[in-house]
Chain A
Amino acid sequence: KAGVTQTPRYLIKTRGQQVTLSCSPISGHRSVSWYQQTPGQGLQFLFEYFSETQRNKGNFPGRFSGRQFSNSRSEMNVSTLELGDSALYLCASSPGAGEATGELFFGEGSRLTVL
C-alpha cells in the first residue's frame, strides 16, 4: 500500500507570494490533517478534512486555507507569504471514521522557504 504522498517536497517563494501544497492520503483513508513543523514550535495543527468537509481548524490566520476533494486528496494554500511561514508542512492521513482518534500516517512533508 502506498504511503502518504506530498508534493512538492521543496519550494522557495518570496514574501507576498502564495503557495499551494498537495497531499495524497493512503488509499481508503478519508481524513487528512495538516501540521506546520518549525524548530522552535514543534508540530502545530492547521486543519483537518474529512469527507470534503473541514472538521477542525487550528489557530492560524485566514491566510492559511485548505480543501479536500472527493478522492480524499487535499490541498492547502498559504497566501501573502511571510518570512515566518518558512517551515515543514506535514500532511497526515487516517481512516477517520468513528469516534476514537487513532494513528496518523504522515507524509515526508513539503519544506517551504520564504525569502
Chain B
Amino acid sequence: GENVEQHPSTLSVQEGDSAVIKCTYSDSASNYFPWYKQELGKRPQLIIDIRSNVGEKKDQRIAVTLNKTAKHFSLHITETQPEDSAVYFCAASMGGNNRLAFGKGNQVVVIP
C-alpha cells in the first residue's frame, strides 16, 4: 500500500518567517495530495490540496508544490503567525475513494 513519509517531525520558526514541510510518497498511482492542520485538542481540518495534474497551488499564505517524478510534495507557509502553530499532516490517495495514507505529522511552532 501507499507509504507517506513526512520531514521534519518538528519545526520551530520565528513569527514572520516561512515554514516548509516536505512529504514523500511511494505509490506512483497516487493522484490526490491534501494537507490537514490539527490544532491541539481539535479535529484535523483540510487547509489545501493538490491533484496530480497540477504542479503548484496557492491560497493566500499557503502553497503546495508537487513533483511527480520525484514523488514528493511540500507545504509552504509564508509570513507565519502564532495561529499557524499546529500539527500538519500530509496525505496521499489514489482517488475514487477516501482511503488516505497520512504521514505521521509535523509539529510546527511559531515563536512570537
Contacts and interface: CB of A to CB of B under 8 A. Distances in A.
Interface of A: 31, 33, 35, 40-45, 48, 55-56, 58-59, 90, 92, 94, 96, 99-101, 103-104, 106-109
Nearest to B103: A42
Q: How large is the interface on B (under 10, 10 to 19, 20 to 34, 35 or more residues)?
A: 20 to 34
Contact of B46 (A33, A99, A103): A103
B93 A90 contact: no
Contacts of A94: 98
Nearest to B1: A59
A45 B95 contact: no
A100 B98 contact: no
Among A42, A96, A103, chain B packs the most CB atoms within 10 A around the CB of A42
A25 B42 CA distance: 17
B44 A90 contact: yes
B100 to A, nearest CB: 6
